[in-house]
Homo-oligomer: A and B are copies of this chain.
Amino acid sequence: MLKLRYKIWLENSGKAFGEGPCDMLKRIDRLGSLNKAAGELKMSYSKAWKLMNTLEKRLGFKLLKRDVGGDSGGGSYLTEEARVMIHKYTMFVQESDKALNKLFKHYFEE
């Protein structure tokens, strides 16, 4: 059977935010570490690091507060702007999903 598929993301000179980054940020928030978040997703640290850098550059603001060295080695934590972004994006995608599925049903399943 034919299924609806879609991807929604935000751009500014390239991909600036989407589903994947959103998930990654939530994990960083929970674990307090970019390295550990990458591990959970079986993604290499360098890839995750590059991703975060690119997003911050494109969004124009910092997503992470990063601590290098120290007691625990360091860690990464969400900025307030990151939290706002996650919230907005989540709501937006949730409602978009509803709208698209309704339209899909109308055009292809009736």
Residues in B neighbouring A99, C-beta threshold 8 A: 96, 99-100, 103
A residues contacting the other copy or chain, number (CB 8 A): 28
A95 closest partner in B (C-beta): B103
Given known A-B contacts A2-B59, A12-B1, A108 and B92 have beta carbons under 8 A apart: yes
Which stretch in A3-11, A33-41, A46-54, A70-78 binds the other chain? A3-11
Chain A 86-103, CB-CB to B under 8 Å as 1, else 0, gives 001101100110011001
Residues in B neighbouring A100, C-beta threshold 8 A: 8, 96, 99-100
A12 closest partner in B (C-beta): B2
Given known A-B contacts A92-B103, A92-B104, A3 and B12 have beta carbons under 8 A apart: yes
Residues in B neighbouring A17, C-beta threshold 8 A: 2
